[in-house]
């Protein structure tokens, strides 16, 4: 709500409605943690049930995974920079870093889709075994989140260009940055408990 | 596309054909009625696009009552079928469908919306807020719930009902053993409704944490607000699990994955595990707000502050933790070994402790109170002993070794009906009688209320008490019939007679609503029960902005103490400032429609059509993203005018309770 | 919460740390000759540290008037997450369910 503006705070915290939205989004992230935890639990239970199909060490490729990790990790960093420059009211740097973030995210998505297509060509599909079902759905859910984030970010860039930095656009930018960092956190666990775990044995 | 058009309408059975005709006639009647009375615009402006928490609450309650009716019919059909041994009223398949829809509807589409409805109406008023934190999201929550509920409800006439029980255990619920589309309805309709519930949880956490009246610290919040807060936290913690479980079920059924199948490494018990990881907290999601309602009602009608407020808060917070670590007690018989079963046995028994604390708090609140036997209070009084029966049998079931005997018998069915009916349904009735004047500006008839109460409570006990004994004798649940030699017949008959009394009780309630709408006096005061919390400080029915001036809170039971201090409701004109309110929006309704269409196509496994419809969802999200509507202001003049209408007639209104 | 410095020092430090943690995890997992259990414990801990890093250095979870609420919210979510993951695996891999 437009009343109750506190100019001593960063733009995204200035209005009461903004503070409500930011808290609400944090709580939504709590729900997202539970959602991904459930997918990890499923993978934890089914991850070794290969049903005679390919095993992790048969299909995982370290190089591809590392490139994906670096892309996403860097995009989380550049997203942080975008918010940093937003707080300095530097629209140009904000947009620059944010667009870089998106490009890195798109690069990650490209790599992931390529990886999936590669698996499918090797006969490792979602229907092959319980391991692959849980693998594809866990990774796919993360990938779908990234895709959604990219579409959302494009909408936001249009709004930033239309309206400049206002408490509302700043709040939206801040919230999407939380979302983006969160996706990176999820990826860290995917890297550890899916890829590295699968390649250790 | 995979739709087989000739299989869409379920035919043959006279019961179903009758329902199909009745549905068509009802829809025609509603459309003709709305057109004839020129009410389409009114419906759109006042209800379909509203973001007002009170109206959303009322829509939840109306849906809940309708679903109660549907679920109740299912229950009666089951009771009719089992009234005598070897009856042929329903066949096994039909019986399976009916106990499935009965369970799903009663928990998710009756108990949930009735409680969320009361939360919507009451909580913002109790904390002195003008609306919830995200009014439009709140509307979206309702419409998604409604969309899911309607999608689920058409299943029995369009395509066939789900028939694998409300728990939909695999492998039975999988494509291999349930090839029809019935269980697709389960997976998809519950998914849509569940999204709405998750958003409600987030909305209420933020509302309660951030929008309380000045001076209302957490430990000065009314108990119903506390229970709503903890319920919302459990919703946010538990519903994503169900989201995932249902999605995996959808993948298994629609796309041939192997999460829960018996082949290719799937684990059928993984479904049970995920289901109960959600469904046990779900029990607390429906029971905690009910506890809050009883706390308000008992305090009001005992004329005393709630006894042991602090211990009450500690015990509900404790439940937020314990409710997450008891789920395995629903499938001890899977035999996960002594360590697992012992652990969950202990946690389950532990959870009886905070619940016991609450029971004693309510009893001590009543002790030496001047108890007024209003209908609302009667429900609260009946709740205590009936719920204790449910609770104690629950502790019996908690013992893993003993559970091997009780598992899947009617003893269990009787147990959870003794928990959920006194716990939730009595609470909803208590809450409706109590807050009805706040919602509508007139009372429900107390005399009819008492008929309703006695018929319902007696009917409930006659229906479910025999089922304990049937269960102990070995009658299993979900069996559509039994032999004459089993000796079950007399108790089943008693139970069936009880269900008729129960149904008459519910009918009296519906009649009471009708009667009161037509004949009840409209001059009810803002505080007809001489109550204790802030919602009674403002008009009945509540004006759309709730409070002309947000009250200042100094202690628990703030309004009661204001009255004791002789503070009047007189407003200083200079205190009135313009009020900011959110604008209505048609977007939530639109989203419900596109979600419903997408869901419908998915149920019929028409993937391309579903994908096309899903574009509509994305479009809705984008439109929302570009929506910069910031609401509007209510002018001081309008507020003054509105406030005069109810504050001036004060002398002419009567308090219902003398 | 307003950044005083002109350069995003904490972001750069956080980024370098997360790179180091990632490569250490990869090294431990693939190049070190220790048992599977130990590897999993090490790389699991590294993942938790890195998640904490993101949470505090990039997402500023403690920032603002609701910092405390956010921390409690995250803590409860992590509690639930651990219950779900550890609980499910425990329940479904012991007793008869394992076979």
Sorted by where each begins, the domain ranges of chain C are: 1-60, 64-99
The tokens for B589 are 């309704």
> Does the CB of C76 have a partner CB in chain B at under 8 Å?
yes
pLDDT of residue A201: 62
Q: Is pLDDT at C31 greater than 80 in this prediction?
A: yes
Cα first-last separation, chain A: 55
- Whether C58 and A201 lie within 8 Å, measured CB to CB: no
Q: H/E element holding A58?
A: helix A56-59
User: Cα-flanking dihedrals φ and ψ of residue B533, to 5°?
Assistant: -110, 170
Measured between beta carbons, the chain A residues lying within 8 angstroms of C54 are 76, 181, 184-185, 188
Three-state SS for B584? coil
The tokens for B603 are 């149920």
**How many domains is chain B built from?**
1
Burial (CB count <10 Å: 0-12, 13-18, 19+), residue B644: exposed
pLDDT tens digits along B301-325 = 999 999 999 999 999 999 889 999 9
**Please, which pLDDT band fits residue A1 given cuts at 50, 70 and 90?**
very low
Measured between beta carbons, the chain B residues lying within 8 angstroms of C92 are 267, 269-270, 273, 336
Output the CA angle C13-A174-A144, nearest 5 degrees: 90
Give the closest of C22, C77, C88 to A41, CB-based. Answer: C88
> Does the CB of C81 have a partner CB in chain B at under 8 Å?
no
Give the closest of C69, C84, C95 to B340, CB-based. Answer: C95
- Whether A126 and B257 lie within 8 Å, measured CB to CB: yes
- Whether A38 and B241 lie within 8 Å, measured CB to CB: yes
Cβ–Cβ under 8 Å, residues B373 and B431: no
The tokens for B454 are 């006695």
Average pLDDT over residues B3-8: 59
pLDDT of residue C2: 45
**How is chain B split among helix, strand and coil, in percent rounded to 5?**
70, 0, 30
pLDDT tens digits along B348-371 = 999 989 999 999 999 999 999 899
Average pLDDT over residues A112-131: 93
**Surface of B (119-138) touching A: CB under 8 A:** 133-134
Distances (CA, A) of A176 to A83, A136, B150, B258, B441: 10, 25, 33, 34, 44
Count of Cβ atoms closer than 10 Å to residue B396 Cβ: 13
Distances (CA, A) of A35 to A29, B267, B334: 9, 19, 25
| Residue in A closest to C38 by C-alpha | A200
pLDDT tens digits along B369-392 = 899 999 999 999 999 999 999 999
Secondary structure (DSSP) of B386-454: HHHHHHHHHHHHHSHHHHHHHTTBHHHHHHHHHHHIIIIIHHHHHHHHHHHHHHHSSPPPHHHHHHHHH
B33 located within any domain: no
pLDDT of residue A2: 41
Q: Smallest Cα–Cα separation from B125: which of B236, B224, B227?
A: B224
**Please, which pLDDT band fits residue B648 given cuts at 50, 70 and 90?**
low
Q: Is pLDDT at B203 greater than 90 in this prediction?
A: yes
- Whether B233 and C92 lie within 8 Å, measured CB to CB: no
Q: Smallest Cα–Cα separation from B504: which of B444, B446, B465, B458?
A: B458
Distance CA A36, CA A51 (A): 24
Domain ranges of chain A: 11-200
Give the closest of B202, B245, B630 to A24, CB-based. Answer: B202
DSSP, res B109: I
CATH fold label, A11-200: 1.20.120
Cβ–Cβ under 8 Å, residues A24 and B208: no
**Surface of C (6-65) touching A: CB under 8 A:** 6, 8, 11, 14-15, 18-19, 22, 25-26, 29-30, 36, 39-40, 43-44, 46-47, 50-51, 54-55, 58-59, 61, 64-65
**Mean of the per-residue pLDDT values of chain B:** 91
Phi-psi region of B214 (alpha: psi -120 to 50; beta: other; left: phi over 0): beta
DSSP, res B260: S
Distance CA B292, CA B312 (A): 10
User: Cα-flanking dihedrals φ and ψ of residue B459, to 5°?
Assistant: -55, -40
| Residue in A closest to B631 by C-alpha | A1
Beta-bridge partner residues of B400: none
Q: Smallest Cα–Cα separation from A64: which of A116, A20, A28?
A: A116
| Residue in A closest to B195 by C-alpha | A31
Distance CA B315, CA A131 (A): 41
Q: How many CB pairs under 8 A join A and C?
A: 135
**Surface of C (26-45) touching B: CB under 8 A:** none
Cβ–Cβ under 8 Å, residues A37 and C85: yes
pLDDT tens digits along B154-172 = 988 888 899 999 999 999 9
Q: Is pLDDT at A199 greater than 90 in this prediction?
A: no
pLDDT tens digits along A130-178 = 999 999 999 999 999 999 999 999 999 999 999 999 999 999 999 999 9
Give the closest of B236, B239, B580 to A3, CB-based. Answer: B580
Give the closest of C1, C36, C92 to A200, CB-based. Answer: C36
A neighbour chains, 3+ CB pairs within 8 Å: B, C
Q: Smallest Cα–Cα separation from A131: which of B256, B258, B275?
A: B258
Which residues, including other chains, have CB under 8 Å from residue A198's CB and lie 6 or more apart?
A47, A55, A56, A57, A60
pLDDT of residue B652: 47
pLDDT of residue B6: 58
B534 located within any domain: yes
pLDDT tens digits along B255-281 = 999 999 988 999 999 999 999 999 999
Q: How close does chain A come to C12, measured CA to CA in Å?
A: 8
Buried b (16+ CB within 10 A) or exposed e, B472-482: eeebebeebbb
Count of Cβ atoms closer than 10 Å to residue B626 Cβ: 10
Distances (CA, A) of B541 to B45, B120, B142: 19, 15, 21
Q: How close does chain C come to B578, measured CA to CA in Å?
A: 27
Which residues, including other chains, have CB under 8 Å from residue C89's CB and lie 6 or more apart?
A41, A44, A45
pLDDT tens digits along B512-546 = 999 999 999 888 888 899 999 999 999 889 999 99
**Mean of the per-residue pLDDT values of chain C:** 87
The tokens for B88 are 């042929």
Measured between beta carbons, the chain A residues lying within 8 angstroms of C88 are 41-42, 44-45
Distances (CA, A) of B618 to A159, A176, B587, C31: 17, 17, 12, 45
Q: For the domain that residue B437 is a member of, what is the CATH number?
A: 1.20.210.10
Cβ–Cβ under 8 Å, residues B524 and B653: yes
Cβ–Cβ under 8 Å, residues B117 and B61: yes
Distance CA B39, CA A70 (A): 59
Buried b (16+ CB within 10 A) or exposed e, B268-295: bbbbbbbbbbbbbbbbbbbbbbbbbbbb
Secondary structure (DSSP) of B540-578: SSPPTTS-SSPPP--SSSHHHHHHHTT---PPPGGG---
- Whether C80 and B324 lie within 8 Å, measured CB to CB: yes
> Does the CB of C58 have a partner CB in chain B at under 8 Å?
no
Distance CA B135, CA B133 (A): 6
Q: B177-183 long-range contacts, Cβ below 8 Å, gap at least 24? A: B181/B603, B181/B604, B181/B605, B182/B97, B182/B155, B183/B249, B183/B253
The tokens for A84 are 């940093």
pLDDT of residue B305: 93
Give the closest of A128, A155, A168 to B628, CB-based. Answer: A168
B537 located within any domain: yes
Q: How close does chain B come to A73, measured CA to CA in Å?
A: 26
Q: Is pLDDT at B568 greater than 80 in this prediction?
A: no
Q: How close does chain C come to A126, measured CA to CA in Å?
A: 22
**Surface of B (187-226) touching A: CB under 8 A:** 198, 201-203, 205-206, 209-211
Three-state SS for A162? helix
**Surface of A (133-192) touching B: CB under 8 A:** 133-134, 136-137, 151-152, 155-156, 159, 163, 168
Distances (CA, A) of A102 to A146, A149, B292, B322: 10, 9, 47, 42
**Please, which pLDDT band fits residue B10 given cuts at 50, 70 and 90?**
low
pLDDT of residue B374: 95
The tokens for A184 are 């990176």
Measured between beta carbons, the chain C residues lying within 8 angstroms of A40 are 81, 85
> Does the CB of B626 have a partner CB in chain A at under 8 Å?
yes
pLDDT of residue A11: 84
Average pLDDT over residues B428-450: 95
**Strand B632-634 to B579-581 pairing:** antiparallel
DSSP, res B654: B
C neighbour chains, 3+ CB pairs within 8 Å: A, B
DSSP, res B45: I
Q: Map tokens 């048992």 to a residue.
A: C35
Q: How many CB pairs under 8 A join B and C?
A: 50
Parent domain of B351: 39-585+629-647
Measured between beta carbons, the chain C residues lying within 8 angstroms of B237 are 76-77, 80
Cβ–Cβ under 8 Å, residues B434 and B297: yes
Measured between beta carbons, the chain C residues lying within 8 angstroms of B338 are 95
- Whether C47 and A192 lie within 8 Å, measured CB to CB: yes
Q: Report how many helices (DSSP H) and strands (DSSP E) chain B contains, helices first.
A: 22, 2
Three-state SS for B524? strand
**Please, which pLDDT band fits residue C98 given cuts at 50, 70 and 90?**
low
Q: How close does chain A come to C17, measured CA to CA in Å?
A: 11
Distance CA A30, CA B501 (A): 45
Q: What is the pTM of this model?
A: 0.94
Secondary structure (DSSP) of B330-342: G-GGG---HHHHH
Q: Smallest Cα–Cα separation from A172: which of C58, C62, B627, B210?
A: B627
The tokens for C23 are 């490569």
Give the closest of A30, A41, A46 to B265, CB-based. Answer: A46
Distances (CA, A) of B550 to A21, B536, B546, B547, B553: 22, 13, 9, 6, 9
């Amino acid at each position: 709500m437009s009343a109750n503006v506190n100019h001593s705070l960063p733009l995204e915290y200035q209005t009461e409605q903004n503070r409500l939205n930011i808290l609400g989004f944090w709580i939504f992230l709590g729900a997202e943690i539970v959602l991904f935890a459930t997918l990890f639990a499923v993978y934890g239970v089914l991850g070794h049930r290969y049903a005679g199909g390919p095993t992790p060490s048969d299909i995982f490729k370290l190089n591809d995974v590392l490139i994906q990790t670096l892309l996403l990790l860097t995009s989380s960093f550049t997203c942080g920079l975008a918010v940093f420059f937003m707080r300095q009211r530097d629209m140009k740097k904000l947009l620059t870093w944010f667009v870089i973030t998106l490009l890195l995210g798109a690069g990650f998505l490209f790599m992931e889709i390529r990886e999936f297509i590669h698996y499918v060509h090797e006969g490792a599909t979602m229907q092959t075994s319980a391991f692959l079902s849980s693998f594809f759905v866990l990774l796919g859910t993360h990938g779908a989140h990234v895709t959604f984030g990219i579409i959302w970010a494009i909408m936001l860039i249009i709004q930033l260009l239309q309206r400049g930095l206002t408490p509302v656009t700043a709040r939206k930018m801040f919230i999407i940055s939380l979302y983006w960092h969160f996706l990176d956190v999820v990826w860290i666990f995917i890297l550890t408990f899916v890829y590295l775990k699968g390649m250790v044995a | 596309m995979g739709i087989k058009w000739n299989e869409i309408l379920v035919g043959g059975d006279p019961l179903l054909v009758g329902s199909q005709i009745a549905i068509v006639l009802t829809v025609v009647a509603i459309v003709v009625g709305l057109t004839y009375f020129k009410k389409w615009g009114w419906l759109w402006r006042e209800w379909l696009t509203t973001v007002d928490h009170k109206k959303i609450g009322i829509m939840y309650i109306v849906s809940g009552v309708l679903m109660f009716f549907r679920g109740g019919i299912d229950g009666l059909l089951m009771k009719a079928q089992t009234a005598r041994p070897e009856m042929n009223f329903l066949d096994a398949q039909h019986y399976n469908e009916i106990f499935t829809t009965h369970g799903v509807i009663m928990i998710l589409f009756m108990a949930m919306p009735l409680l969320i409805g009361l939360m919507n109406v009451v909580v913002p008023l109790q904390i002195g807020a003008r609306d919830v934190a995200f009014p439009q999201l709140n509307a979206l929550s309702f419409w998604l719930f409604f969309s899911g509920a309607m999608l689920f409800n058409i299943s029995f006439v369009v395509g066939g009902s789900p028939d694998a029980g409300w728990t939909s255990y695999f492998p039975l619920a999988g494509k291999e053993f349930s090839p029809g589309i019935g269980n697709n309805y389960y997976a998809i309709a519950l998914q849509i409704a569940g999204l709405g519930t998750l958003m409600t949880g987030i909305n209420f956490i933020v509302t309660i944490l951030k929008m309380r009246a000045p001076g209302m610290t957490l430990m000065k919040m009314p108990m119903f607000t506390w229970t709503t807060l903890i319920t919302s936290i459990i919703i946010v913690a538990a519903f994503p699990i169900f989201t995932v479980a249902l999605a995996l079920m959808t993948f298994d059924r629609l796309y041939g994955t192997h999460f829960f199948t018996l082949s290719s490494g799937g684990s059928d018990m993984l479904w049970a595990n995920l289901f109960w990881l959600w469904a046990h907290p779900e029990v607390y999601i429906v029971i905690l707000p009910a506890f809050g309602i009883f706390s308000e009602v008992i305090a009001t009608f005992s004329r005393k502050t709630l006894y042991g407020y602090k211990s009450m808060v500690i015990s509900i917070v404790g439940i937020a933790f314990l409710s997450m670590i008891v789920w395995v007690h629903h499938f001890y018989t899977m035999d996960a070994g002594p360590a697992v079963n012992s652990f969950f046995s202990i946690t389950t028994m532990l959870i009886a402790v905070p619940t016991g604390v609450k029971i004693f708090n309510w009893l001590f609140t009543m002790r030496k109170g001047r108890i007024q036997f209003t209908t609302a209070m009667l429900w609260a009084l009946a709740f205590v002993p009936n719920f204790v029966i449910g609770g104690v049998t629950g502790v019996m079931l908690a013992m893993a070794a003993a559970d091997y005997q009780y598992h899947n018998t009617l003893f269990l069915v009787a147990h959870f009906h003794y928990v959920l009916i006194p716990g939730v349904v009595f609470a909803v009735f208590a809450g409706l009688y109590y807050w009805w004047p706040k919602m509508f500006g007139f009372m429900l008839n107390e005399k009819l209320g008492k008929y309703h109460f006695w018929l319902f409570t007696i009917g409930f006990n006659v229906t479910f008490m025999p089922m304990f004994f049937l269960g102990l004798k070995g009658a299993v649940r979900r069996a559509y019939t039994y032999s004459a030699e089993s000796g079950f017949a007399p108790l089943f008959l008693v139970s069936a007679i009880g269900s008729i009394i129960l149904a008459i009780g519910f009918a009296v309630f519906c009649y009471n609503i009708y009667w009161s709408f037509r004949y009840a006096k409209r001059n009810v005061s803002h505080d007809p029960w001489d109550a204790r919390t802030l919602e009674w400080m403002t008009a009945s029915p509540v004006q759309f902005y709730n409070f002309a001036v947000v009250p200042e809170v100094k202690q628990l039971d703030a309004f009661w103490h204001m009255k004791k201090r002789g503070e009047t409701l007189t407003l200083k004109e200079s205190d009135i400032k313009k009020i900011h309110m959110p604008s209505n929006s048609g977007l939530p309704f639109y989203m419900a429609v596109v979600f419903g269409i997408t869901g419908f196509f998915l149920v019929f496994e028409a993937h391309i059509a579903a994908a096309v419809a899903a574009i509509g969802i994305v479009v809705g999200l984008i439109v929302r993203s570009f929506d910069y509507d910031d609401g509007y202001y209510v002018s001081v003049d309008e507020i003054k005018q509105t406030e005069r209408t109810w504050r001036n007639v004060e002398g002419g209104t009567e308090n219902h309770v003398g | 919460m307003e950044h005083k410095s002109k350069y995003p020092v904490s972001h750069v430090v956080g980024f370098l740390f997360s790179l180091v943690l990632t490569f250490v995890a990869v090294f431990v997992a693939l190049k070190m000759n220790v048992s599977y259990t130990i590897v999993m414990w090490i790389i699991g801990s590294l993942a938790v540290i890195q998640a904490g890093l993101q949470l505090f250095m990039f997402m500023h979870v403690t920032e603002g008037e609701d910092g405390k609420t956010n921390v409690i919210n995250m803590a409860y979510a992590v509690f639930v997450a651990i219950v779900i993951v550890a609980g499910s695996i425990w329940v479904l891999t012991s007793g008869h369910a394992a076979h």
